[in-house]
Amino acid sequence: MNLLKKGNRNNWSFYLLGANEMTSKKVAEVISKTYPNISILGRQHGFFDQNNEVQIADEITTWSPDVLVVALGAPKAEFWIHKFKNQLNVRIAIGVGGSLDIIAGTVKRAPVKEEVKCELALSINKSTF
């Protein structure tokens, strides 16, 4: 959400890649209404055929958004960004997991205490290696 607030303050443009068609459309509407200074240059649901990846990357390159939001799930989003990083003409490319679903209102955000427990478990897990 902080990225959206900063984007709104700085008139950034976004391209949304991922989620299902209904969520993709809804999140674009919610962002446009909530953050009026953000431009949504394009969007593509995440259920595309692998044969269409180059066409999607070309479209993103053509639009040249400030921010590319990729919600294909981890680690698929990160692999996709890495695969096309030299082609994409974006300032920021970020994998966001299920954040588009939360912004669209199709999924509720986890309670903060659960989020903290997960972060704590992750940090403990990392420290054991």
- Rounded mean pLDDT of 21-44? 97
Q: What is the pLDDT of residues 64-120, one digit of tens each?
A: 999 999 999 999 999 999 999 999 999 999 999 999 999 998 888 767 655 555 554
**C-alpha angle with apex 12: 65 to 89, nearest 5 degrees?**
20
Three-state DSSP class for residue 113: helix
Residue 125 C-beta-side C-alpha neighbours within 13 Å: 6
- Tell me the whole-structure pTM to 2 decimals: 0.83
β-strand pairing of 39-44 with 13-18: parallel
DSSP 44: E
